Amino acid sequence: MGASAPDAAASSLVHGRDLDQGERAWTLAVAFTRGKSPASFDQWFSGVQFDSLTDGVLSLRARDEFVRQWVEDYFLPTLGDRLRVQTGLSIQVRWCIDGTLDRPVADRPASFAPVQPRALSVRPRSSDDASSPSDASAHRMVPAPPPPLPRVLAVGPPIEGLHTKYTFANFVVGPSNQLAHAASMAAGGAGGRRHNPLFICGGTGLGKTHLVHAIAHRVRDERLDARIVYISAEKFVNEFVQALTDQRMHEFRARYRDKCDLLLVDDIHFLAGKTQTQEEFFHAFNALHQASKQIVVTSDKYPQQLDKMEERLVSRFQWGLVADIQAPELETRVAIVRKKAQLEHIELTDDVCLYIAQSVRSNVRELEGTLIRLAAKASLLGKPIELDFARTEMAATTTARPNEASVEDIQRVVCHHFKLRSTDLLSKDRHKSIAFARHVAMYLCKQRLKCSFPELGRAFGNRDHTTVISAVRKVEALRTTDPEVRAHLEAIERKLGSVE
Ligand code: ADP
Ligand code: MG
């Protein structure tokens, strides 16, 4: 951030009275530090008062020891640095604890009240005082309150492993991801009920990683002092093994237990079968949870479907909120294509946008890939992306045709009909009602799509093709003999008839 905005703001604070050098340096340093995380700054500096800065000695008052400690740990490194640069002196801080602060640095936690040195603390008689630039002496006697500093866009320090574009602003919300989105916003401190842990699950390419990155970005920008750890479960395993090898377990534990305010672990299913890492994660989880630190975990399965995962971990994953993400509906897909085109500066007509959204149904990553490929080809050939061009190009690369249901559509409708979650169909669960719904879905897929048995086996949680064959035969037979089964099938077929 350049110093020009705070500089200009600080000089306008003077209003007829020259701040002494120390006050001026302090004001600038405050503007800079606050700009990084206004909400957090205001919260803590409503308990801090500036007394003076003379010959490198900064005298501050704190409402209590807790505030002093916090400010010292999280704000003074930045403030001190800034002051050192501005004054050319090394800064020494003298604190005093004073329960009754009359001029806190931020006197309203929600908005910044700039520093008002003692001599300026007189309130104006009327608002006219502030608007009359001609009478400097009047200002001296009855100074106007300084105008608020311009809000500097808060950008916290970078966090390892975060994709800069995976923000809430770039995430399209629809019925398929509404719950996960709202819960992520709340976990990121945007209001709403916070759940701990937040467990986000769903198939690949549906936006789980995007959401956890968005949480991290938001918390970082709102709370400069927040210690955020984002890690994939795979990297967690590697780090753990490395720490064991190097005998640096105390460091590893400190990072995940003591020095962490927000822990985001992506793709937790990767811990399957890794008992020692699971044990370590279990203890980190407990330590953070007990300290009310937010934990967010993503997974491609629901907690109870995680294979080779310790029961006590699975049960902890269910303590908070389990929010799933389903494949997006057509409207959401259209909005996503639009958003991605806008972000990538790709010009797209509405009909092409719709065509792409209709053709790629199950996976947002694929949707995005299709758009990028199309744009790259068009740019290579120097052509605009028109509908005919999109049709021809995509015919070669995408299998599904518009207006034809996909395996995922059928699975979605079947789940909706039997009130199951979509991952139930892919799970190993042999419970009678789930197995029946699975068989029905397999049967309908075979009837309606040009999929082979092995293809269907893969689409239903990597099952053997013989399982699909026997399921299809069973439902075929029941359809003729069992009126209840027939009624189910007809109801689902009616819904499928109206799918998009
Ligand atoms: P997952 O972690 O579930 O496999 P990702 O979060 O990596 O999926 O998402 C895959 C791609 O799709 C990313 O580029 C992401 O930005 C995009 N994406 C997914 N869902 C959405 C959405 N609702 N809005 C915008 N982009 C999305
Ligand atoms: Mg992911």
For the chain, list the domains and their CATH numbers.
8-106 (3.30.300.180), 168-325 (3.40.50.300), 330-397 (1.10.8.60), 407-499 (1.10.1750.10)
pLDDT reading at 135 higher than 60: no
Residue 121 three-state SS: coil
Residues 6+ apart with CB under 8 A from 47: 62, 63, 64, 67, 71, 101, 104
Residue 55 above 60 pLDDT?
yes
The Cα–Cα gap between 253 and 280 comes to: 8
Per-residue pLDDT at 475 exceeds 50: yes
The whole-number pLDDT of residue 156 equals 55
Whole-number pLDDT of residue 294:
97
Q: CB–CB of 120/62 below 8 Å?
A: no
The chain-wide mean pLDDT, for the chain, equals: 83
- In this predicted structure, what is the pLDDT of residue 493? 85
Mean pLDDT of 356-377: 91
Q: What per-residue confidence (pLDDT) applies to 455?
A: 86
The CA 411 to ligand 1 mean position distance, Å, reads 21
Convert the pLDDT of each residue in 2-47 to its tens digit. Answer: 334 444 434 334 334 556 788 888 988 888 888 776 766 777 788 8
Contacts of 261 (CB under 8 A, 6+ apart): 223, 226, 227, 228, 293, 294
**With a 6 A CB cut-off, is 317 part of the ligand 1 pocket?**
no
The band of 234, judged by pLDDT with boundaries at 50, 70 and 90, is: very high
Going by C-alpha positions, the residue among 435, 432, 437 that lies closest to residue 411 is 437
Query: Would the CB of 206 count as within 6 Å of ligand 1?
Result: yes
> Which ligand 1 atom is at minimum distance from the Cα of 172?
24
CB distance 269 to ligand 1 below 6 Å: no
Nearest CA to 471 out of 497, 446, 452 is that of 446
pLDDT at 131 over 60: no
Smallest CA separation from ligand 1 atom 5, residue = 207
Range with the largest mean pLDDT of 72-86, 87-101, 282-296: 282-296
**Tokens standing for 186?**
């709340």
Residues with CB under 5 A from ligand 2 (ion): 208-209
Counting from 1 in the atom list of ligand 1, the atom nearest the Cα of 211 is 6
State the Cα–Cα distance between residues 185 and 187, nearest whole angstrom: 5
Greater confidence (393 vs 498) lies with: 393
Q: What is the pLDDT of residues 413-447, one digit of tens each?
A: 999 999 998 788 998 888 899 999 999 999 999 98
Structure tokens at 97: 């604890």
Per residue in 150-184, pLDDT (tens digit) is: 333 445 566 778 998 999 999 999 999 999 999 99
Cβ neighbours of residue 426 closer than 8 Å, sequence gap 6 or more = 460, 461
pTM listed for this prediction: 0.57
| Residues counted in the chain | 500
Identify which ligand lies nearest to the alpha carbon of 178.
Answer: 1
Higher pLDDT, 209 or 73: 209
Our answer on whether the CB atom of 204 is closer than 6 Å to any ligand 1 atom is yes
Contact indicator for 94, 58 with CB cutoff of 8 Å: yes
Mutate which of 299, 364, 367, 422 for ligand 1 pocket (most atoms within 8 A of beta carbon): 364
User: Distance between CA 164 and CA 178 in Å, rounded?
Assistant: 22
Residue whose structure tokens are 């050098």: 21
Instruction: End-to-end CA distance of the chain: give it in Å, rounded.
Output: 49
